[in-house]
Homo-oligomer: A and B are copies of this chain.
Amino acid sequence: MLNFSSDYTNGAHPDVLRHLVATNDEVLTTYGSDLYTASAAEKIRRTCGAPAAEIYFLSGGTQTNLTVIAGLLGACAGVIAADTGHIALHEAGAIEYTGHKVLTLPHSQGKLTAEAVEATIGAFYADSNYPHMPYPGMVYLSHPTEYGTLYSKAELEAIAAVCRCYAIPLFLDGARLGYGLASRETDLTLQDIAELCDVFYIGGTKVGALCGEAVVFPRGNSPRHFFTIIKQHGALLAKGRLVGVQFDALFTDDLYLRISRHAIDIAEKLKVILHEKGYRFFMETPTNQQFVILENAHYTALAKKVAVSYWEPYDAHHTVVRFATSWSTTEADLDALRGLL
């Protein structure tokens, strides 16, 4: 069946797989001490323009979020996030399990605004009861967001300025970072992100890897004992090569961006088709995810022919549905889709 359901329904990009196969029989040291992991880290440092960056490779998004957040938050701290943020909604309470509250703000197209963050922190310290409440100890944002939207450079700078003002870290969840970097509408580069954020991760699982996320502390500013923290959260792979080799491939010859650009090109054409066919957008985005509103009967009928993602109810009679593209979506898929819509 035609598949636009998500960007992680296929295996690895062929070049990633090829590197795994090519290195499979080599004897390598363990727990991320191998040469491919070192090479991947070095390539990421260079791409980020952050020569002092510390890079850690973990295997999945929720794992990365909980490990980074638990590792950075002090006692009694909470983490500010949009109410649509992944950590607020779909991580099974993983952040709370580490003992910290997610302090949610209403989202604006999936995003936080610097104004809202500043107002929240300001109101917190203005409330005489604040020592009875978890204090805002980090700002978490997703880029692209869960709705496929993007922060502009100015928006990210503004949020980063608020964080610096209150001396709290800014954490950017880049589960789909490639699609943000490759978007035709972004003015935010990886170097900007490395400069503005205190920690971020470059998502692999949804951008061509079998698994794996690269956590970047751009100024060598990882918390003490972070290796041990990763281990304590069960996030340390014995065969660290599994993720190291994949990222080594992803950051060779710009593969990470090439994968992302392909998905964006396809997504742009997808948007044209959806418009042609008169689809109503819930969120038309500059990245690889597009959200449309379908009548329920229409959704049911469509779902028999094309795999898409149920997103959320729109109203009693309509449903929000997501189309996603990835490295594996082809022009032929688009043609087939055009015929089916």
Contact = CB atoms under 8 A, between A and B. Distances in A.
Contacts of A131: 92, 225, 227-228, 231
A89 B25 CA distance: 30
Contact of A9 (B21, B29, B231, B233): B29
A49 interface: no
In terms of DSSP, what is the predominant structure of the interface of chain A?
Answer: loop
A91 B31 CA distance: 13
Contacts of A228: 75-76, 92, 131-135
In the complex this chain forms, how many copies of it are found? Answer: 4
Given A3-B27, A99-B96, A232-B93, A238 B75 contact: no
Interface stretch (A57-65, A188-196, A255-263, A270-278): A57-65
A104 to B, nearest CB: 9
Interface residues on A, range: 35 or more
B70 A93 contact: no
A168 interface: no
Contacts of A236: 60, 62
Chain B CB count within 10 A is highest, among A92, A128, A235, for A92
Nearest to A34: B9
A91 B232 contact: yes
Given A92-B232, A134-B96, A234-B67, A24 B6 contact: no
Given A30-B9, A239-B8, A310-B128, A234 B94 contact: yes
A94 B233 contact: yes
Given A60-B238, A232-B76, A25 B9 contact: no
A322 interface: no
A91 B132 contact: yes
A158 interface: no
A234 B208 CA distance: 20
A74 interface: yes
B25 A328 contact: yes
B231 A210 contact: no
A41 B97 CA distance: 29
Nearest to A24: B11
19 contacts: A6-B30, A8-B238, A9-B27, A9-B29, A12-B24, A17-B20, A27-B307, A59-B237, A60-B238, A63-B234, A65-B234, A67-B234, A75-B225, A90-B132, A93-B133, A94-B231, A96-B101, A211-B238, A234-B235
